[in-house]
Structure 1
Amino acid sequence: MIDKKDDTTDTVVIRPRRVVWMSGALALVLLAVFVTVAVLLRSQDTGVIFMVSDQIAMIGVGVMLAGAAMLFATPRVRADRNGVHVRNIGVSRRFTWDEVLAVSFPDGASFARLELPDYEYYSMMAVQAVDREHAVEAVRALRRLHTAAKRD
């Protein structure tokens, strides 16, 4: 999703699309499986004695795994005339446009990236190849902001 905050500040916010749906579906499946297993733990006679605490622990594991699956929905890129803030899974970093040489999306790459000096780059997980046209629009928007910042 590409959001324009308002016309005066020209801020662009980019979030992935498909991975949000996939991680949400995975989280629901994980939670359903672990709740089902927890409910069925005490209904079958397997020779092992399961307690209520075991059932609660199974549900807790399901909640933790579902939460971990939802981490893939957190990447975001927020860019404005001053720079770009990239939030990937667990890591966040801000770049000024002076630090960025280019915004690229190499053939075969999964994510767009910011080209930095000394042949370094920083991947933007919010701009993913699986989002197709959405990713193209996002890269174009970032390139427009980068070009505008370089002119100023």
Structure 2
Amino acid sequence: MTDAATDDTWEYVYRPRWMRIAAWVAVAVVMIIHLTFGLLLDISYTGVNVGWSDKVALIGVGVVISGAILFLTRARLRLGPEGVGVLNLVSERVFPWDQVLGLEYPEKGFCARLLFPGDEHIPVMAVQARDGDLAVDAMERYREFQTRYGVAQNAE
């Protein structure tokens, strides 16, 4: 694995469309709910003293939940001469072409997975069936890159 943060050699970058849209919609819903209830928390007296700190805390919980949801927007697949870069939630892992066997979409899976020797695999959350033709294009592009870079290095 190599450090992908400083590498500008990627020829193809794929980000999921549906997951980004769904995450932003979820963030909007969470924030609307938390803002509404946070601001209206003391609209009627229930016998409990509710202060501004309680309101801010409820809104803050919404911000934390929204931040966690936004991690889903980070997913991406990058391809280039260096190998395959897979970013799922937190960190990106880059695999040289000589370590990767292929990219497949399992019959009952929600996302594609990168295959390695010994029946090892990792999920590629960026490539999902919900993206339809965009995901199919990403799979085709992966196969083009594997043919271009993977076969030549595996033959050496």
In structure 1, distance between residues paired with 2:18 and 2:44: 39
Residues 104 and 113 in structure 1, CA contact (< 8 A), matched pair in contact too: yes
Query: 2:138 matched to which residue of 1?
Result: 138
Residues 104 and 115 in structure 1, CA contact (< 8 A), matched pair in contact too: yes
In structure 2, distance between residues paired with 1:67 and 1:132: 27
Query: 1:58 matched to which residue of 2?
Result: 58
Query: 2:49 matched to which residue of 1?
Result: 49
Q: Gaps (5+ residues) in structure 1?
A: 1-8
> For the aligned residues, what is the CA RMSD?
1.3
TM-score, scaled relative to structure 1: 0.90
Q: Deviations over 1:91-149 (max 9, x none)?
A: 42110010001121122221111110111111110001111111100011011101111
Query: 2:122 matched to which residue of 1?
Result: 122
Q: How many pairs are equivalent?
A: 144
Query: 2:6 matched to which residue of 1?
Result: none
Helix, strand or coil for the counterpart of 1:90? coil
Residues 10 and 78 in structure 2, CA contact (< 8 A), matched pair in contact too: no
Q: How far 1:17 sits from its partner (Å)?
A: 0.6
In structure 2, distance between residues paired with 1:96 and 1:122: 14
In structure 2, distance between residues paired with 1:55 and 1:105: 45
1:15 aligns with 2:15: yes
Q: How far 1:10 sits from its partner (Å)?
A: 6.7
* 2:75 counterpart letter in structure 1: P
Helix, strand or coil for the counterpart of 2:46? coil
Residues 109 and 129 in structure 1, CA contact (< 8 A), matched pair in contact too: no
Change (3 A) 1:115 1:18: same
